[in-house]
Chain A
Amino acid sequence: MEKTRILFLGDSITDAGRSREGVERLLMGQGYPTMCAGRLGMDHPDRFEFVNTGVSGNRITDVYARIKRDCWNHKPDVISLLVGINDVGHEINRQDGVEDDRFETVYRMLLEDTKKVLPKTKFILMEPFCLAVPHRPEDWAAFRKGAKAKGEIVKKLAEEFGCAFVPLQDKFDRVCNLAPARHWIGDGVHPTPAGNQLIADRWLKAIKEIM
């Protein structure tokens, strides 16, 4: 049986310090892709293969720039994409973000162009998220507002293109009743193992829906 190839694409949350060389490159980093790949790989031996091409710091424009090498050329059957928080954060911190209208334009281009090249490939689009952690000096109000706007765009595009959508912001907000924000997302942006497990659990639901 032909294996189903799942490709994780995104920023540092997806990258999660993944190895880039040798046999180690077969591992998926210290985040949710490892948890997703482990669970599916264990429960369905030899049915799936996984590629992680997340790169830290990426915004939608960076992902689009490397779409051939790091996505199309791998010929994935499923593309999982989590991107958007750097489009917000890089604007707040260094005026190098991607505004909402350009975010939508480039995200849509990525979906349209990919549909042409890989017409059978399915998408899982994940909602960007953040949590306000008091011990970090970021402008959390601006982060929340920006992430929400990006999340709405991703959700709209998921509906428009018939992609699975993985809601995450609500989930993170809700679990903050159980433990402080930093338990889930250490610095407000990068999830802890607990936060990555939350993402993985929700992602595993989404993959079941589309397979």
Chain B
Amino acid sequence: MKKILFMGDSITDSSRVRDENNRFYMGEGYPCMCAGRIMKDHPAEYYVENVGIGGHRIVDIYARIKKDFWNLKPDIFSMLIGINDVWHELGSNNGVEPERFEKVYRMLLEDTKKVLPDLKIILLEPFVLKARATEEKWDEFLEGTKTNAAIVKKLAEEFGCVFVPLQDKFDEACKLAPESYWLRDGVHPSSAGHQLIADEWLKAFATL
């Protein structure tokens, strides 16, 4: 059985159950939807775990890289990170600037390649829409998120990872329904927004 690991912040966490003995509950977001689709359509081929934690930035992920990543020995690693690196700067002067974001993200990939050379990696693009939590400092939010997204895309190419573009998809979806329909507060997806991510993720997964 191949193990798929979902890593990230609150979008990935999505209120998952933190019971070591019951790792079947994936939260109420895209990992749950991806896990359901894969594990139903390919029974007994894949095992899925979610280790996302709300509030995390790239540095927080790097800090727990052994316990929550390497030690779990995944075959496929999926990561969505970058919005808190922007948001925590705007909200509490505790973000991660683009230079450090790139440096630590690259360290994570480099170090991981050494420890798990056969690992396949799926990197998701951070995204943002203008809604309740983001409208006040919208220009900063958009610029910061786009900068981090470009870094993730560049690193994906550099390290041969699959990149999942999402910002364009969300922008496109906003022609059909308002921003808050997809991302409730501009950051956290609704069920429909999570499905959008899951659909794009599953497309990327199929290319592995």
Contact = CB atoms under 8 A, between A and B. Distances in A.
A111 interface: no
Interface string B136-155: 00000000000000000000
A46 interface: yes
B112 interface: no
Contacts of B44: 178-180, 183
Interface SS majority for chain A: helix
B40 A198 contact: yes
A100 B190 CA distance: 39
A122 B150 CA distance: 47
A23 B17 contact: no
Interface string B8-34: 000000111100001011111100110
B35 interface: yes
B43 A24 contact: no
A35 B32 contact: yes
A26 interface: yes
A38 interface: yes
A195 B43 CA distance: 10
Given A29-B28, A30-B27, A186-B22, A193 B39 contact: yes
A193 B36 contact: yes
A134 to B, nearest CB: 16
Contacts of A50: 191
17 contacts: A27-B28, A29-B28, A30-B27, A34-B32, A34-B194, A37-B192, A39-B195, A41-B191, A42-B195, A42-B199, A45-B173, A46-B176, A46-B181, A192-B24, A194-B39, A196-B32, A197-B39
Interface of A: 16-19, 23-24, 26-30, 34-35, 37-39, 41-42, 45-46, 50, 175, 178-180, 183-184, 186, 192-198, 200-201
Contact of B28 (A30, A42, A180, A186): A30
Nearest to A34: B28
B197 to A, nearest CB: 9
Given A26-B184, A34-B191, 7 more contacts: A26-B191, A28-B191, A37-B191, A41-B190, A179-B43, A194-B39, A197-B36
A39 B39 CA distance: 17
B196 interface: yes
Which one of B33, B44, B48, B185 has the greatest number of beta carbons of chain A within 10 Å?
A: B33
Given A34-B32, A38-B194, A192 B188 contact: no
Contacts of A38: 33, 191-192, 194-195, 198
B195 A45 contact: no
A190 to B, nearest CB: 8
Contact of A30 (B26, B39, B40, B176): B26
B28 A28 contact: yes
Which one of A17, A42, A178 has the greatest number of beta carbons of chain B within 10 Å?
A: A42
A34 B192 CA distance: 9
B52 to A, nearest CB: 13
B43 A183 contact: yes
B154 to A, nearest CB: 29
B33 A45 contact: no
Nearest to A190: B24
A84 to B, nearest CB: 22
Given A45-B176, A46-B176, A201-B40, A186 B192 contact: no
B192 A30 contact: no
A196 B192 contact: no
B190 A193 contact: no
Contacts of A30: 15-17, 25-28, 32
Nearest to A185: B24
Given A37-B192, A38-B198, A192-B24, A27 B177 contact: no
Nearest to A179: B43
